[in-house]
Every structure is written in structure tokens, then in C-alpha cells.
Structure 1
Amino acid sequence: MTTFEAARLVAARELHVKLRDKAFLFSTAFLLVIIIASIVVPSMLDGGPTKVAVVGDTVTAQLTAAGLEVQTVPDVATAEQLVRDDEVEAAVLPGPEVVALEDPPGDVVDALSAAPPVRLLEPAELDPFLLTIVPVGLAMLFFLTSFTYGLQISQSVVEEKQTRIVEILVASVPVRALLAGKVAAMTLLAFGQIALLGVVAFVGMTVTDVDTSVVSAIGPTIGWFLVFFVFGFVMLATLWAGAGALAARQEDLGSTSVPMQMVVLIPFFAVIFLQDNAAAQKVLSYIPFSSPIAMPIRLFKDEAAAWEPLVALAIVAATAVVLLAAGARVYQGSLMRTNGKTSFATAWSSAK
């Protein structure tokens, strides 16, 4: 059996076990429900345009331009009766005078109010709320996925060491094949889950009444995010496996995985807290550990040139190659040491 065949066999085993895990299936379904609900529920609650009864036609154009549904009636009594019967939310009488049943209709009043003209020197193409929530969502998605799946890789390695199963596995397949299979399986699972969520979100926005400008902006952002996610996750996955191999028991994992936790946490908080600082975001988009978050955010805000994501991706890929070699060496040098926690120096020097 070649190393590639052995790695494929290990990956198939890991995928089979994970896809039968009820916790994994439940978490995926739960995330899908949240995304679908966040898109569909606002559309359902919107209920369409506000209905307004109007006596005469002097303000009809203003109300229609504001997106309100106008119903012209012949007299005041008819308009008031429609309000009482809850067939319209408000009525505009001559004067003009606005009549409502219980609460003042703010959208109707705003449509009739005279506001001064506003000229924006640098108008934002997207809603300010989206410019805040989308970057936070992308950062949270990468952080939670890389942290959760990375920790699962470490726990799987420790479990195999603690139960001595690793001795049987190493007798059957090379150590590098065992590592490659684990990393490949977890990368496929993580990417599959993220891609599924991204496709569902994009399709949901397309079929609902979400502004087309929002859809056209988020679509390419999701695409770039998926590409950066794959390279970023592979860059970290082998290091998570190495952190697991340094531990001999699950209790040791808390200390051996601290460096990896910091590698994931620090870039996440840096991108979140500095998302309004364009200069800092530009720097973070070229640092390999924060680039998978910062660069898609800059692309969404239209702050990056067309060549920048390609350069950043090349840096992440080159870093992934280096860290794959380093993580594999630590993994190989500590995997068979089951008597106690292994130090990084010992694992590095013991690798062949």
C-alpha cells in the first residue's frame, strides 16, 4: 500500500466516523436553520407595504413614492371607517391630517414631511448595518470552525494515543499517511459545512426580497472566503494535530494546545476590533493567520485591489506548506511517546 492509498484509507475512516456522529449532524442542521430563519423570517414579518386611505389625490404621489399602498376614498367618513375596520393602517384627510387607530403611523408621517435635500460626498454603496454584521459573521465563522475542528483533530490524536490504538494504526500505515488522512478528512468536513452554509445563505438572499446590490456584493465575498478558508484551515490543521500528539492524556491537551488557541484567538479579535481601521485591516490581510478573515472583509467593503487577494492567498499557501512540514515533524516525533506529555523540543529532535 502506497502512502497516498494509506492516507486515503485513513481519511475515509475519519469521514465515516464523523458523518455518523449525531452531534456533528445536529450542529450542521442547527446552523442551517439559523441561516434560513435569519433570511426568511424578516421577509415574512415585513407583511408588505403599509396601506393608507386618502381623501382626494393631492398627496397620493408622495405616499406612493415612499412605497406605501394608497387607496383613494370619496369622503372622510369612509376613510375613518376603513381605519376602524383595520383595513388600512392610516388615513390622510384634507388639511392634510393623518388619522390612525392607536399608534401614530411613522412611515406615513415621514412620507408627508418636508425634509431638506441631502447630498453625500462619499455615499456608501451598502447599508451601514451590513458593513458591520457581515465582517463579524465571516470572522465568527472562520474562528468557530477552525477552532472547533482543530480541537477535534487534537482530541482524536490524544484519544488514539491514550487507548493505544495508535500503535496498531502505525503498524499498518505510515505516520505521515495517518496525519495526512486526518487533516484531509477534517478539511473536507469543515469546507463542506462552510460551503453548504454559504450556498444556502446566498440562495436564500436570491429568492427573497433582499436588495440585489447586497446579493451581488456578498456573492463574490463568500467565494473568496471559501478559498481562503481552505488554505487557512490546512495551514492550522497539522499544527493542531501536533498539539494533540504532544499530549499523552486528554487532561494534557489544555496546556499543549494553548499556542494554537492563541494563534486562532488573537487574529480574530484583532480583525474584529480594528475593522474600522483601514490601515490595520490592510496589514492584517497579508498576515497569514489573519488573512483568511481580513482579506474577504476588505473585498466586501471594496477596499482591496483586484491583485491583493491573489498575493495574500499566495502568502497563506506558502505559509501552509512550511507549517505542514513543521507540524508533521512535531506529530511524528511525539506520536509514539505515550508515557507522558512531550515537550516541543523533544518532539522536534526525535523526528526522523
Structure 2
Amino acid sequence: MNAPASVRDTNAIWLVAEREIGSKLRSKAFMISTGILLLIALAGILIGGFASKNPEATKVAVTSATASVVEALPNVAITEVADRGEAEELLRSDKVEAAVLPGDGPLGYTVIALENAPDSIVMGLAQTPEVEILDPATTNPALRYIIALGFGIVFLMAASTFGGTIAQSVVEEKQTRVVELLLSAIPSRTLLAGKVIGNTVLAMAQILALAAIATVGLIVTGQTEVLATLGSPIIWFAVFFLFGFVLLASLFAAAASMVSRQEDIGATTTPITMLVMAPYFLVIFFNNDPVVLTIMSYVPFSAPVGMPMRLFVGEAQWWEPILSLIILIASCVAAIAIGAKIYENSLLRMGARVKLMEALRG
């Protein structure tokens, strides 16, 4: 007795997915590049964490009269000198960055430097008034930029790498006529579903590995506060990336099915590649602009980057990621339907590039 069609289709989808996963895992280039990516991520977190905890001390020359003043400043290395002449000699030989010597000013001392006086020394010695901030920043600007850069790079690399893999696989099967054999055994939509699922599994595995690496790095460097702040945004990033990648993967496969040669892939996939690159540049240049981030968090192609960033800086209400996810899932369903139609209508058409309207009409 034959198995029901739905069971056969499900089995076929997983067979195609396993084939996609297996071909990648057998690729030395893929495994090496993934290992390098994880090592770079870990090294960046460790170096950044240790550097922030152990900043390089500022070297300062002092006399016996000013030593007590400078010793009270954080993170300074003191070299005691006898007079101004010895201090200037150390400055010109780059052995110190500044010298604090007795002076006639109201504070009783003067800061001397070769070109520019270190801000940490000048500000530390200055008498500043009490400052009251009415609207304090929710996150450190430098940390905000680093997190934005991290989300942008991970999304760009994962989406472009595995999206490009799907496109190359589709065209390779057309170019070698393997697709004709595959379609004699399984429907085109089953083949498309298997490719999308297989590469989604690989992309999500890479995202989860990066998240684990980031967690380990933050724990090792003692950045538990940053880890606590990043926990929820990273989880949301993974959820948004899952549906965002399925959307993009469907479009990459559909676009690639419209051509029959590897060298023609760029002609149809360039618009999708631009959609992948846009969130990366937007989140880098506008990570401190709440209006741009809000728009990004609701646009399906940029929501995987925009919404986690808004959650990290505390600018999103509790219901906003849920609404954004609903919009993304609806867009994902629409993209799959359109992509499947283009894929089905273009897969067996060889030779010249298939025009979009022809692919949609069938």
C-alpha cells in the first residue's frame, strides 16, 4: 500500500534538506570559514572585554609638589622628576604623555604636553560643577555602536552566504540538467522547500553558535551586565532571523531559477542582495536615530536587525516585537507563495533569462 502524498512529500522535503546540509558540511571551505568566523567573534569579544577592564595607564611626569594631586586620578602611571627641564625631556622622548608641574594659576599647578594634553588628565584635574542630566542616555554610545555593528554583520554574512548558496545550487542543477531528473521524482515546490529548510537549518546553527560564543566571551570577561542586557535582544534576533531568512531564501531561489548560467546569477539576485545589505548600513549609520530604527523594526527585510536594536536600547514597548513578528510572518508567507510560483514556472526553462512577468504568469 502506497504512503499518503503528504507523507511522501514530507519525506522528500527532508531528503532534499539533508542533501543541502550534507553538501555544506562536506565542504572544507565552508567549515574553515565558519571556524574562522567563530574565532574572530570570540577574539573580538575577549579583546574588547579585557581592554575595557584594563585600559592602558596614562604616563604622567610629576614633581614632589604635584605627586599627591596626580596620584588621586584613576589609571595613571607616575614618573617623578626634579624640575621642568627633566619633565620636558621625558615629553620629547615620548616617555610620558603629560607633565603636571607647580604653576601660578588658581589651582596651583600646570599641565604640560608635547602636542595634545590627555583629556583624562585635564578633566581629572579640573574643578567641574555638579551636572544634572534630565534625559540620560539608556546605553553607552560606544557599546550601542558595537552591538549595532554586531547585529548588522551577523545578519549580512549569514543571509548573503546561505542565500548565495541556494542561488548557486539552483543554477548548478539547471545548468547540469540534474533538475530534470529531480523533478521526475518530486514536485518543484517540494524541491524548493527542501532547499530552503536545509539552508535555514545551517544558517540558524551558525547564528546559535555565534550567540553561544558571545555568551561565553562575555562571561569570561566578566561583562555580566552587558550579557543580561543582551539576553532578550539576542533571542528576538534569532526568532526574527529565522523567518527573515526563510523569506530571503525563497526569493533567492526564485530569482536564481530565472537564469541558466552561473555568471547570470547577479542579474536577478542583485535586488535581493541590496535588501540584505540595507539593514547593515542603516543600523550602523542610524543606530542612534529612534525614527529610523522604528521604521526598520517594522519593515520585513530589516526587522531582524532593527527590532533587536530597539529592544537593546529600551526604546520598544512590549507589544512591538510581537506586532513586527506578525508582519514578518505574513510577509514570509507571501514571499514563499510568490517565490514558489516563479520557481515552478522558471525551473525547466533553459537558455535566455526568464522575465519576471513571464515567470509569474507561467
Question: Are residue 168 (structure 1) and residue 181 (structure 2) matched?
Answer: yes
Q: Hey, what's the Cα distance between the residues in 2 that align with 1:28 and 1:184?
A: 19
Structure 1 residue 34: Cα displacement = 1.3
Structure 1 residue 264: Cα displacement = 2.4
Q: Hey, what's the Cα distance between the residues in 1 that align with 2:127 and 2:283?
A: 42
User: Structure 2 vs 1, CA of residues 344 and 68 (structure 1 numbering), >3 Å: closer, same or farther?
Assistant: closer
Provide the TM-score with structure 1 as the length reference: 0.81
Per-residue Cα deviation, 1:109-147 (whole angstroms, up to 9, x for no partner): 765553332222222232111122211321222122212
Q: Hey, what's the Cα distance between the residues in 1 that align with 2:32 and 2:238?
A: 22
**Mapping 1:144-159, distance limit 5 Å:** 144-159=157-172
2:3 corresponding residue in structure 1: none
Amino acid corresponding to residue 175 of structure 2 in structure 1: Q
2:43 corresponding residue in structure 1: 37
Q: 2:194 aligns with which of 181, 192, 207?
A: 181
After TM superposition, where is structure 1 displaced by more than 3 Å over at least 4 residues in a row? Answer: 42-56, 66-71, 89-98, 104-115, 265-276
Q: Hey, what's the Cα distance between the residues in 2 that align with 1:277 and 1:105?
A: 30
Per-residue Cα deviation, 1:223-259 (whole angstroms, up to 9, x for no partner): 1111110010011111110111101111221212133
2:25 corresponding residue in structure 1: 19
Contact 2:50/2:221 (8 A) holds in 1: no
% identical aligned pairs:
42
Structure 2, unaligned runs of 5 or more? 1-6, 83-96
Contact 1:235/1:320 (8 A) holds in 2: yes
Structure 1, unaligned runs of 5 or more? 78-88
Q: Hey, what's the Cα distance between the residues in 2 that align with 1:70 and 1:262?
A: 50
Provide the TM-score with structure 2 as the length reference: 0.79
Partner of 2:184, secondary structure, is: helix
Partner of 1:2, secondary structure, is: helix
Per-residue Cα deviation, 1:263-295 (whole angstroms, up to 9, x for no partner): 323444444444333223212211212211211
Amino acid corresponding to residue 335 of structure 2 in structure 1: L
Per-residue Cα deviation, 1:81-130 (whole angstroms, up to 9, x for no partner): xxxxxxxx9999999989xxx9x997677655533322222222321111
Q: Which moved more, 1:182-191 or 1:123-132?
A: 123-132
Q: 1:265 aligns with which of 277, 280, 305?
A: 277
Contact 2:174/2:260 (8 A) holds in 1: yes
Structure 1 residue 321: Cα displacement = 0.7
Q: Hey, what's the Cα distance between the residues in 2 that align with 1:190 and 1:63?
A: 52
1:85 corresponding residue in structure 2: none
Cα RMSD after superposing both structures: 3.5
Per-residue Cα deviation, 1:200-220 (whole angstroms, up to 9, x for no partner): 11221122133x432222222
Q: Hey, what's the Cα distance between the residues in 1 that align with 2:301 and 2:121?
A: 50
User: Structure 2 vs 1, CA of residues 309 and 97 (structure 1 numbering), >3 Å: closer, same or farther?
Assistant: same
Q: 1:214 aligns with which of 226, 242, 245?
A: 226
Q: 2:129 aligns with which of 109, 116, 120?
A: 116
Contact 1:55/1:93 (8 A) holds in 2: no
Contact 1:139/1:272 (8 A) holds in 2: yes
Q: Hey, what's the Cα distance between the residues in 2 that align with 1:68 and 1:275?
A: 31
Q: How many residues align?
A: 335
Amino acid corresponding to residue 34 of structure 1 in structure 2: I
